Structure 1
Amino acid sequence: MLKTRETRVEERKEEKRSEKRDRILRAAEAIFLDKGFHAASMNEIAEAANVSTPHLYNFYASKAALALAVQLKMGQETFDALKTAMSAGEKNPSCQSIFDSRRSSLMLTIAQSRDKRKD
């Protein structure tokens, strides 16, 4: 089936949006790991991701929503790295990053922040 021009345009837009979302998540993870959840600001995450702060809010409504997306991304990376290591049957260097204590600390901080909002 041939794709229409409109379909190709929409696919390119979605690809660019996905790339931008990935860039935001990478920037947020780096800043959260470096500064911690509470000290990080949406402004500096936007700057690191090379997007405007209002545009960042088009992707994530709040810092908590962004932190949850980072937490999900880190969880998926952990799962993928462990799955790869287990299938290789040997110690995999890519697994070393998942044992960075700052990742665990950040995940706990995010979980605690979510629990406090429920109270």
Structure 2
Amino acid sequence: GAFDELERDETLADLLRTFRITQKFHNEHSYVEFQISPERSDPSLIEGFFEIAGMEGSRYLIEDIHLGDKHVIDLSELNTDDLHAGDILNMSMVADKTQWRVAWVECVFPQKSKFYLL
């Protein structure tokens, strides 16, 4: 396809990979529904830019790139096969009784974007 030549460049391939993760999430989840959902006013709601730092079992360890706060979260709402350590998620998340979970993902960025997001 049109992206085949771009995928030969590692940086562009990472951009395309993270763009596709974001696009898939947006195709499967409604931003309007998130805005009118109870999650939007949930007192536990946290929004920010979170870097994937590692795994804890089947959940992901993420770190807020601005505040340094760390959280363990279920990212099964995303295509986790395509997520890489260092990817940065611009997202909203809420806590339920046992763990953090995704409420909305605005965008997924490759690790090389971190410099520009700080």
Task: Tell me whether the two structures share a fold, i.e. TM-score over 0.5.
Answer: no
TM-score by length of 2: 0.31
Structure 1 or 2, whichever has the larger Rg, is 1
TM-score by length of 1: 0.31
